[in-house]
Amino acid sequence: MRYTTINSILFKKNRAKLVKKMAEKSIAIFHSNDLMPKNADQVMPFVQNSDLFYFSGIDQEETALILIKEPGEIKELLFIKETSDLIKVWEGNKLTLNEAQDISGIKNVFWNKEFKKMVNKAVLNTSTIYLNSNEHPRANIVVESRDARFKTWIQSKFPNKRYKKATNLVYSIRSQKEAEEIKLINKACEITHLGVKRVLKYLRPGVFEYEIEAEIIHEFLMNKSSGFAYEPIIASGANACILHYNDNNMICKNGDVVLMDFGAEYANYSSDLTRCFPVNGRFSKRQKNVYNAVLRVMKLAIKMLKPGITLSSYENGVGELMEKELLDLGLITKKDIKNGWQGGPAYKKYYMHGTSHHLGLDVHDVSDPQDVLTEGMVFTCEPGIYIPEEELGIRLENDIVIGKLNNIDLMKDIPIEAEEIEDLLNI
């Protein structure tokens, strides 16, 4: 692994929070992700299951975790892939039992060949079994996971047990970040800043979007990031009006603004940034007016993110801010505001996505949608205006830690003022 070892205290605290919420005489079971096939004998780069990592810190395939809550006793059982001389030659070292103990803080670590035998034993004295699954509202699940295969097996073997979704407990826990987690997210943001600095030195008319992407990933890998936290968007000109543009294959032309939405991943934690730079080093008057309108909304929106509010009320408030800016830019009229657009608010014609989402082990991190904002949550703030008829799209995004009184902007040092960007592009 490229990142500095995380103190096992974090994973111990995470497990303790879950066990506290579990019913008496219950167990919770978590699995790693699979190695996914590519073509022929190849596999895709391994990405750990976020929940398994959150509770154990183990960043290796073929891993399982069992948490057992019995009256007056808590048991933690970890199972990892047993290595061999053959595996060592072809794949390198895997974790030893002692190494897994040190990383996770779990004393009882076994080879995974012991897993089903231990499950059979653990289930005997339990009434409730919590099973893990991906319940993210944006998830499009077409491949059966290890968790899903295990669910089929255990429910057929123990049909009379009470089964519950672990996510009903886990998501509200994960949305509240520990100080150690915020440090890891901040490290990812610092690496992202280095990527921005590199772009500022490289951007000029005639470069391809993918060349900018290459400059960024070079900087990320040189600074111990595992790579992009998500597929980067490098969108120049009209491409910036495509919200999930990932082709990154067009030339950045003189007079264009290039929208760059990217973030580094560090220790499985994500960052998420968007910046917009004029390709030739200077915004036109119109481009700067639209840019500053988005920036004004962003600054006010960050202040609106505070404990006690719901995301729905927050989004309504941001919509009102955006409505005023679009009115001033001449993009909508008071009549449009009265009539709305396609059954929704008029501003949705030029600002069609949400402003903020949770950030953590996943870019669109998990949460309980009913929860109000609380201190320690981490959100993006990313308003935007998209004008296809002008081939102009502006989005700005920083990562924000919700504070009791004042928020912490983890990207406050990354240039965002229009004049500062122009100055840096013309050094």
pLDDT in tens, 413-425: 999 999 999 999 9
- Give me the residues paired with residue 26 across strands: 69, 128
d(CA 364, CA 354): 12
Phi, psi of 208 (to 5 degrees): -85, 150
Cα dihedral 17, 18, 22, 25 in deg (nearest 10): -100
User: What pTM does this model have?
Assistant: 0.96
Q: Say what the pLDDT of residue 140 is.
A: 84
The bridge status of strand 64-70 relative to strand 73-80 is antiparallel
Within 10 Å of residue 375's Cβ, how many Cβ atoms?
15
Question: Hey, what are 255's tokens?
Answer: 């007079």
Q: Which residue has the tokens 């400059």?
A: 215
d(CA 425, CA 393): 19
The fold for domain 179-425 equals Creatine Amidinohydrolase (3.90.230)
Question: Hey, what are 153's tokens?
Answer: 């097996």
CA distances, 107 to each of 32, 72, 78 (Å): 19, 18, 8
Phi, psi of 67 (to 5 degrees): -115, 125
d(CA 412, CA 291): 17
Phi, psi of 223 (to 5 degrees): -120, 30
d(CA 121, CA 248): 53
| pLDDT tens, residue by residue, 47-72 | 999 999 999 999 999 999 999 999 98
Given a cut of 80, is residue 1 above it in pLDDT?
no
> Above pLDDT 90, what percent of the chain?
92
Question: Hey, what are 190's tokens?
Answer: 């610092």
Q: Say what the pLDDT of residue 176 is.
A: 96
d(CA 130, CA 121): 16
**How is domain 9-172 classified at the architecture level of CATH?**
3-Layer(aba) Sandwich (3.40)
Question: Hey, what are 221's tokens?
Answer: 């890998």
> Above pLDDT 70, what percent of the chain?
100
Q: Where in the chain is the domain with CATH 3.90.230.10?
A: 179-425
Average pLDDT score over residue span 146-157: 96
Torsional class of 420: left (φ above 0), alpha (ψ -120 to 50), beta (otherwise): alpha
Question: Cβ distance 336 to 346 under 8 Å?
Answer: yes
Q: Say what the pLDDT of residue 285 is.
A: 98
Q: Say what the pLDDT of residue 2 is.
A: 87
Average pLDDT score over residue span 20-49: 95
Within 10 Å of residue 142's Cβ, how many Cβ atoms?
5
Q: What is the mean pLDDT of the chain?
A: 96
CA distances, 244 to each of 139, 183, 261, 390 (Å): 16, 28, 9, 19
Average pLDDT score over residue span 154-168: 96
Q: Confidence band (pLDDT; 50, 70, 90) for 85?
A: confident
Given a cut of 90, is residue 369 above it in pLDDT?
no
- Give me the residues paired with residue 409 across strands: 400
Given a cut of 80, is residue 132 above it in pLDDT?
yes
Q: Amino acid letter at 58?
A: I
Question: Cβ distance 48 to 268 under 8 Å?
Answer: yes
Q: Say what the pLDDT of residue 298 is.
A: 98
| pLDDT tens, residue by residue, 202-219 | 999 999 999 999 999 999
| pLDDT tens, residue by residue, 254-295 | 999 999 999 999 999 999 999 999 999 999 999 999 999 999
| pLDDT tens, residue by residue, 321-341 | 999 999 999 999 999 999 999
Within 10 Å of residue 343's Cβ, how many Cβ atoms?
6
